[in-house]
């Protein structure tokens, strides 16, 4: 019977999930260097045609809505700025590294649909709030908020399947089931890996506390917005305000984000309109799940 690894052991495992690609590190270093030009950054990104394609698809999607086609990475950096490009880069790398991971616990397209919709909704809600400057960071936070589940499924598939079965048959939520079976949760795993990858602390904190925003000590408002986005991501078209109002009744503390039911409804509708195009841009659509007995 499979035994749960400690979180420390999990971090030390040799895994495709344990480190981000070298090109991400190289581009991040250039983005941090004020002396590097948009052309230099573009040249490095364009050494990876797949990554280049994902970034340009994302930049030219309805999500950003530019009137003219953006034809190069250097042009994208000039238009969007380095912070936005960094967020798109993280999403593009995730799509490339994790997109085709096979497992018997959940469908990857469902996983990414939830993550991408949470990301879009978090961005839209943030833009309506008093901290709109954090909108791109919260898109990335939404995209990463359940990355711990992928790592647990890859390294401990049998136990992850037990968690899923507990959700289907027992009166537990995922947070409780993981705590019982693993001794920790996907929130802690995701947060630890985000820190290990050297990504910004806001992403680690949101990932760690999106199920328990009342415990957050830093980035409290950001945690609440991503938690609200996560809880509303299940709504499907046609989305009406009465459905949003019913959903909000079960979301503790939603009023503290300072948005009206009308604003939240508008964000839900817009997110639903954008989700599949963003998934396609990031390479997260039509993932084929191989359910052969010899692959997990």
DSSP 137: H
Q: What is the pLDDT of residues 115-159, one digit of tens each?
A: 999 999 999 999 999 999 999 899 999 999 999 998 898 889 999
In the chain, the domains with their CATH numbers are 21-98 (no CATH), 101-296 (1.10.3210.10)
- Measure the CA–CA gap between 248 and 228, rounded to whole angstroms: 9
- Measure the CA–CA gap between 279 and 110, rounded to whole angstroms: 11
Q: In this structure, what are the phi and psi dihedrals at residue 88, rounded to the nearest 5 degrees?
A: -65, -40
Q: What is the pLDDT of residues 74-103, one digit of tens each?
A: 998 888 888 888 878 888 787 777 766 777
Residues in the chain: 296
- Measure the CA–CA gap between 291 and 104, rounded to whole angstroms: 7
Which whole-number Å values give the CA distances from 27 to 13, 54, 71, 105, 216, in the listed order?
25, 15, 19, 34, 31
Tokens of 105: 């616990």
DSSP 256: G
For residue 124, give every residue at least 6 positions away whose Cβ sits within 8 Å of its Cβ, in sequence order, or none.
135, 267, 270, 271
Tokens of 208: 């760690």
* pLDDT-above-70 percentage for the chain: 92
DSSP 200: -
Looking at every residue in the chain, the average pLDDT score rounds to 87
Tokens of 3: 């035994």
């Amino acid at each position: 019977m499979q035994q749960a690894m400690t979180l420390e052991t999990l971090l030390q495992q040799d895994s495709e999930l344990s480190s981000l690609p070298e090109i991400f590190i190289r581009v991040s270093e250039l983005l941090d260097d004020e002396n590097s030009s948009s052309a230099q950054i573009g040249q490095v990104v364009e050494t990876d045609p797949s990554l280049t394609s994902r970034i340009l698809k994302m930049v030219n999607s309805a999500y950003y809505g530019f009137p003219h086609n953006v034809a190069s990475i250097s042009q994208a950096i000039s238009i969007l700025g380095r912070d936005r490009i960094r967020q798109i880069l993280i999403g593009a790398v995730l799509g490339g590294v994790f997109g085709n991971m096979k497992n018997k616990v959940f469908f990857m397209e469902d996983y990414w649909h939830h993550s991408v919709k949470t990301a879009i909704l978090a961005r839209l809600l943030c833009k309506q709030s008093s901290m709109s400057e954090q909108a791109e960071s919260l898109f990335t936070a939404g995209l990463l908020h359940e990355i711990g589940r992928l790592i647990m499924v890859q390294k401990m598939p049998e136990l992850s399947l037990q968690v899923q079965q507990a959700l289907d048959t027992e009166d537990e939520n995922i947070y409780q089931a993981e705590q019982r079976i693993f001794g920790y949760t996907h929130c802690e795993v995701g947060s630890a890996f985000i820190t290990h990858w050297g990504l910004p602390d806001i992403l680690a904190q949101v990932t760690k506390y999106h199920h328990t925003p009342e415990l957050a000590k830093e980035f409290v408002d950001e945690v609440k917005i991503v938690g609200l986005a996560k809880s509303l991501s299940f709504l499907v078209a046609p989305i009406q305000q009465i459905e949003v109002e019913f959903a909000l009744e079960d979301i503790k503390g939603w009023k503290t984000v300072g948005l009206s039911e009308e604003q939240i409804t508008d964000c839900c509708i817009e997110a639903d309109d954008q989700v599949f195009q963003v998934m396609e841009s990031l390479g997260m659509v039509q993932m084929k799940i191989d359910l052969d007995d010899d692959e997990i």
